[in-house]
Amino acid sequence: MRKEIRTAAVALVALCAAGTASAAPDKTSKIVEVNSKKYRVVTQGRAVLVANKAFFVAYDVNERDDQRAAVKLATGCGITDELPSNDAKLRGKLDCPSK
C-alpha cells in the first residue's frame, strides 16, 4: 500500500512539474548590430528588453530609435508600451502582426 501511494505521489509531482515547465514562456537572447552598435535583445513571452552592449551609453532619441530597430531586426516585431529607464535599457511588449 505504501509503495503504491509513494509511486502515485512521485507521478503526481512529475506531472505537475512538466505542466509548469511547459506553461513558462521561452526566454531568448539575441545580439544584433544597428549603426555599428551592438544590442542584446532579450524576449520572454511578449516582454522584451533591449540593452546596448557598450560600457557608456548616451541615452537620447537616436539611441532609443536604434533600440527599436534592434527589436525589429532580432524579432521581426515592433515594440509597444515602452518603458525607458535610467540604465539606458528599453523595456516593452512585442507588437507582432497576427499571422
Q: Element (H or E) spanning 51, and its range?
A: strand 47-52
- Give exposure, 29-58, as e/b (b: 16+ Cβ within 10 Å): eeebebeeeebbbbbeeeebbbbbeeeeee
The answer to whether the CB of 68 falls within 8 A of the CB of 32 is no
Single pTM value for the model? 0.70
Tell me the pLDDT tens digit for each residue of 19-74: 545 555 789 999 999 999 999 999 999 999 999 887 777 778 888 899 999 999 99
pLDDT band at 78 (very low <50, low <70, confident <90, very high): very high
pLDDT at position 48, please? Answer: 94
pLDDT band at 5 (very low <50, low <70, confident <90, very high): low
Report the distance separating Cα 87 and Cα 48, nearest Å.
15
